[in-house]
Amino acid sequence: MPVTVNLRLLEKEETLSLEGELPVAEFGADLRDDLMRFDQPLHYALDLQHQPDSLLLTGSLETSLACECARCLTPFRLPVRVEALTALVALQGEEAVGRDGDFADLTPLLREDIYLALPTNPLCRPDCRGLPQKAVSRDSRLEGAQSDEASPWAALDHIKL
């Protein structure tokens, strides 16, 4: 069920508060990332004020993701919060929010803000060093990386011109 606001009701009220949950199918089903996926609903707490041609939206968003570390592939949970959400939602013009009669759909705006809060590379810990050395040494594709020479440029010392 999308997050909608009745614009006629908002014109009569000074401020309208919305709280609830948005199912994953509504906001996170189209996330195309191998390391992250939404599996918890999006909790929102929003305050709306009617402006002449727009809505002033303030509030917070919160959910969590099931992730795999980008360095070591360890599964972990990552909380995602947008604490100080503030947006001016256009009601007219090219960037107007979608409307169905007197109702404005805020779901695309919430989806965009929670996606912008996602990390580009999820890490299980900030100091994650990646796969353990014994796992790297067992991988036959990485044998060249385990040579005794410390520098990757050392192979150039053996070139005869």
Half-sphere exposure of 108 (CA within 13 A, CB side): 9
pLDDT in tens, 26-40: 877 778 888 999 989
Q: Which helix (H) or strand (E) holds 85?
A: strand 75-90
pLDDT over 70 at 143, yes or no:
no
* Buried/exposed 29-53: b ≥16 CB within 10 Å, e otherwise: eeeeeebbebebbbebebebebeee
What the block records as the tokens of 109 is 């705006």
Radius of gyration of the chain (CA): 24
* pLDDT tier for residue 89 given thresholds of 50, 70 and 90: confident
pLDDT, average across residues 151-159: 80
Q: What is the pLDDT of residue 5?
A: 83
Residues 6+ apart with CB under 8 A from 108: 97, 98
Residues 6+ apart with CB under 8 A from 45: 17, 18, 19, 59, 60
7/19 Cα distance (integer angstroms): 17
Give the DSSP per-residue string, 102-146. TEEE-HHHHHHHHHHTS-SS--SSTT---S-HHHHHH-GGGGGGG
Domain boundaries, the chain: 4-130
Instruction: Report yes or no: 98 and 134 within 8 Å, Cβ to Cβ.
Output: no
> pTM for the full model?
0.71
Half-sphere exposure of 14 (CA within 13 A, CB side): 0
Q: What is the pLDDT of residue 139?
A: 54
Cβ of 152: how many Cβ atoms within 10 Å? 10
Q: Which helix (H) or strand (E) holds 88?
A: strand 75-90
Q: What is the pLDDT of residue 161?
A: 79
Percent of the chain with pLDDT over 70: 89
